[in-house]
Amino acid sequence: MSLRPKAIATVQVDTDEVVVTEWRFAPGAETGRHCHDHDYVVVPMTDGTLLLETPQGDRFAPLVAGQSYFRKAGVDHNVVNASDHPVIFVETELKRPQP
């Protein structure tokens, strides 16, 4: 069991097509391990560095405010704010049927 604080997820939109969630991370906060069922787009609202804990090993990922990125469904990870300041991003999951 992790002693890290939890990131705060606020669902802003949830329709048949998409789920839009704002994620707020204090320094060291985490999402908890999860697997994405849908393709998704992340829009960083702040600069920062994330630690991605995955079955393939840990890696660091820089965030640049306003520089979006896309990931396919099936991503299994725990996301941790490795920055010394709060980090915020907006995640949009696309609920279209997966092939």
All structural domains of the chain, each given as residue ranges with its CATH number in brackets, are 8-94 (2.60.120.10)
Convert the pLDDT of each residue in 27-86 to its tens digit.
999 999 999 999 999 999 999 999 999 999 999 999 999 999 999 999 999 999 999 999
Q: Residue 1 has what pLDDT? A: 62
Q: List the Cα angle 83/88/93 in 5-degree steps.
A: 125
pLDDT at 80: 98
pTM of the model: 0.92
More confident residue, 98 or 58: 58
Q: What share of the chain is helix, strand, coil (3-state, %, to 5)?
A: 0, 55, 45
Is residue 90 predicted with pLDDT exceeding 90? yes
